[in-house]
Structure 1
Amino acid sequence: MARLGQLEAAVMERLWSWDRPVAVREVLEDMQRERQIAYTTVMTVLDNLHRKGMVLREKTGRAYVYRPTRSRATHAAELMEQVLASTSDRGTALLRFVEHLSPGEVSDLRAVLNTMPDQAPEER
């Protein structure tokens, strides 16, 4: 999975937060509150995200509407897995990551880990 560019990430944040199919025009109008951007630019970004498998599109009337193929949490988890796959010492990388978590996040992590069944390393 490729990392998202700045505009792609801005578009995806909107799609994730709206949690419904949206047209290019709606994304454009929201983005124009923050910056000048052309309709064709937003359309191209959504087309690229579709090509990358990040969004689904379906024809509604004469226009397409777009929605994410995965949740924000799933996307973040896939990125984290990609980073872990790039190191030969996953344990140390995980330890360094956990050291940066807040006490509340560590508590949340412990709670999740306590609900998971034990897995052998080859089952990952």
Structure 2
Amino acid sequence: MIKNIISLVLLIVSVALSFKHGWDTFNLRDNPQSAKMMAELGISESLTPFFGVLTIATGILLLIPKTFFLGNVLNAFSIVLIMALALHAGNYKIALMEIPFLAMPLLMIWLKYPFKH
């Protein structure tokens, strides 16, 4: 029971973060801090819609039991990509801040989908 509650809380947080980050990616003009971070990572403005769609799609995949694993793998992959781009740009602070977010999809894979019997 506790395992399901933890899994549910992580699922809600992960989906909310996916939708928020996806929405923020589409509205970079309203979020100068996000635009600055994307520029520091070397991500051009023409690539940002791709990342927005990928992030929102990841959130949707997490909600569906049959695609839960794939959603978590895509989430972990996108976090590792951000960490790699940050390290390549010499921004160690971003890479270190992403470590807990990398642990979240891996923990969710281990805990399994919360409503699956």
Provide the TM-score with structure 2 as the length reference.
0.29
Looking at CA atoms only, which structure, 1 or 2, has the larger radius of gyration? 1
Higher strand proportion (structure 1 or 2) = 1
Provide the TM-score with structure 1 as the length reference.
0.28
Higher helix proportion (structure 1 or 2) = 2
Bigger relative contact order (CA 8 A; separation at least 6): 2
